Amino acid sequence: MLPSFAPHREIFDLPDRLAVVTGAGSGLGRMFASVLAAYGAEVCCLDRDLSTVEETATDITRAGGKALAAAVDVTDEVSVRAFASVISGQGRTIDILVNNAGVTGLPTRIHEMDDQTWTTAIDVNLSGTFRCTRALLPSMIAGGGGSIVNISSIMGLGGFYPGSPGI
């Protein structure tokens, strides 16, 4: 699963770096984890579905990279803090955090949306990013700094419009 390309290795060489990617069980999260591993980072692949992140981590290690999988639900403060405790308990520090977990494809028009659907979208897409950053930032500070990458949807720039898919 590691990409065969490795352009700009002189800029993006990441050996001895620990990266955390949320939503790494599929889609962009799986790709981010694979690319970080291709550049030498050890990647903690997080997702609420352990089986999918285990697949991601297995693909990365089979291709020669370093990865581990953990079931972490970004909507659950206890789950996020438990992961942060494991990392600090190992004496490790995080160098890269990719907040990628998100839900898309809300099933209805906003004027027909119920509060629970809205709350779920906000809890995963916005509050999950906050929870992970808040819990993992002390590790990054302890290690001397790092990089936080927050992924969002292009829909934030334009949204749906009448007649677009989903409306």
Average pLDDT over residues 77-103: 96
144/94 Cα distance (integer angstroms): 10
Per DSSP bridges, beta strands 66-71 and 42-47 are: parallel
The pLDDT of residue 117 is: 85
Residues near 106 by beta carbon (within 8 Å), at least 6 away in sequence: 113, 117, 121, 166
* Helices and strands in the chain: count of H runs, count of E runs: 7, 5
Query: Integer distance in angstroms from the first to the last C-alpha of the chain?
Result: 36
List, for residues 108-142, the tens digit of each pLDDT value: 777 888 898 889 989 999 999 999 999 999 999 99
List, for residues 104-114, the tens digit of each pLDDT value: 766 677 788 88
Picking from 110, 107, 121, 116, the residue whose alpha carbon sits closest to that of residue 162 is: 110
Average pLDDT over residues 65-73: 98
pLDDT at 5 over 80: no
What's the pTM?
A: 0.88
